[in-house]
Structure 1
Amino acid sequence: MKKLILTFSLSLLGFTAFAQTAYEKAMTEKITKVEGQKSAEEFTALANDFDRIGNKEKSQWLPYYYAGFATIQKGRSMMQSGKTAELDPVVAEAEKYIAKAEELSPNNAELYILKKMASGLKMMVDPMTRYMSEAPVAQKSLAKAQELDPNNPRITLLKAEDLYFTPEQFGGSKVKGAELFKKALEQFETYKPKTALDPNWGKAEAQYFLSQK
């Protein structure tokens, strides 16, 4: 009887390990695609894939995180194409995914980073009228992320972007932005994600901005 129980336990352990490996394999495959996507349609498909993984792996926050991140990247792609008037539904979709992730992992710096990015997109729909309402929300989210994870290079990256794209008369500076991009790269050299699936994006973006003359 004991041998039977042991055999069953080992079989169950093997099945669990297989299930975890299948989850990690599916996530890794999708994560590697996030930074390589270009079109809004590609980002939508990727977000849907992550959402399906999240609905299956109900205790995991990362699938919903990446669904939110892919949706935000979709919004950034649309913004670059001049489709800022269409961003509100995209932000709402991203916020839905962020909320799902936050239920599973509250007080998570990476989620506050996404919240900051979502607020920035929302502001771009109508910067003149939305700056007063969305800028404080974005900065509050970034400050909370900083409090939770002070050495996170993605926080420095977003600060660098803000400085880089803000006109000098409003306190911005491409030179100061470049200094923060350099700091972000330094942080990327020492910052270690908690797991192989945790967020690790941003280094290529910092390198890109520093390559611009």
Structure 2
Amino acid sequence: MKKTGIFLTLLVLVAHSALAQDFKATLEKTVTTFQRAQELQERLAASNRLELIANKFADQWAAPYYAAYSKALLGAMETDPIKKDQYLDQADQYLTKAQALTPDQDENFVLAAMIASTRIGVDPENRWQQYGKEFEQNLKKAKKLKEDNPRIYYLQGVSLLYTPEQFGGGKKAALPYFEKAATLFQQEPDDDITDPSWGEWPNTEYLKYCQS
């Protein structure tokens, strides 16, 4: 009986390991497809696949996180205010699931800050107070958990870049944040899809722009 129990335990462990490997491989392939997509339909299809992954692997933090990430980026790219909000609503729904699985994950707060910042763009005049406050609060929480997360400084740089100079923004104000993010991105490993590492390419482009 003891040998049988050990054998069954080993089978469970092997099956769990195979499932985890399948999850990571599927997630990485889909996220890469989404990030590299040139056409809107290809990007939408990849985002929809990320939703399916989030539903299938509901106990894995990275699954709903990347579903939220894809919807947040779609919202940022969308020009129609109504559709933009709809994408961001979906992003919030998946991010809530990710937060429930791992409450003290700095990346959750970074993504929440990005969503809040994008919300401002729908109606800047009427939304900047509410969502500007949410943006700052979420980045503050992320920084408290992991101060060397480059996406914190990348998002701060973007926010400052698009803030009028008379209110403390502009290229000169944003540059130090993109520079700090660039240094931290170089130190960040990118070999595990469950440890997010997005943002380096746009940060590099913004850095070049602010240096010009």
Give TM-score scaled by structure 1 length: 0.89
Counterpart in the other structure of 2:147: 150
1:130 and 2:118 correspond? no
Shift of 1:195: 4.5
Equivalence for 2:65: 65
Specify the alignment match of 2:194 in structure 1: 197
Equivalent of 2:182, from 185, 188, 207?
Answer: 185
Secondary structure, counterpart of 2:11 in structure 1 = helix
Change (3 A) 1:101 1:194: farther
**CA apart distance, 1:6:** 4.5
Aligned-partner Cα distance in 1 for 2:169–2:140? 18
> Quick one: distance in 2 between partners of 1:137 and 1:3?
56
Secondary structure of 2:36's aligned partner? coil
1:15-73 CA distance string (max 9 Å, x none)? 22221211111111112223213455444332322222222222111111101110011
For the pair 1:97 / 2:90, whether they are aligned, the reply is: no
Structure 2 unaligned spans of 5+? none
Relative to the length of structure 2, the TM-score reads 0.89
Question: 1:13: Cα distance to partner?
Answer: 3.0
- Residue 208 (1) aligns with residue 209 (2): no
What are the equivalent positions in structure 2 for 1:16-31 lying under 5 Å apart? 16-31=16-31
Q: Distance in 2 between matches of 1:93 and 1:196?
A: 21
Moved more, 120-129 or 31-40: 31-40
Q: Deviations over 1:72-103 (max 9, x none)?
A: 1101111xxx3234321111111001001111
Partner of 1:34: 34
Distance verdict in 2 for CA 1:4–1:86, change over 3 Å: closer
Report the Cα distance in structure 2 between the residues aligned to 1:157 and 1:183, rounded to whole angstroms.
Answer: 8
Matches within 5 A, 1:75-114: 75-78=75-78, 82-114=79-111
Select between 177-186 and 8-17 the one with higher mean Cα deviation. Answer: 8-17
The structure-2 alpha-carbon separation of the partners of 1:114 and 1:39, relative to structure 1 and needing over 3 Å to count, comes to farther
Distance 1:8 1:132 in 2: 57
Q: For 2:25 and 2:58, locate their aligned partners in 1 and report how far apart those are by CA, in whole Å.
A: 17
1:173 and 2:166 aligned: no
Percent of aligned pairs sharing the same letter: 28
Supply the distance in 2 between the matched residues of 1:44 and 1:149 (Cα, whole angstroms).
31
Which runs of at least 4 in structure 1 moved beyond 6 Å after TM superposition?
Answer: none
Per-residue deviation at 1:208? 1.1
- Aligned residues of 2:116 and 2:131 also touching (Cα < 8 A): yes
User: How many residues matched?
Assistant: 210
Q: Any conservation in 2 of the 1:75–1:91 contact (CA below 8 Å)?
A: yes
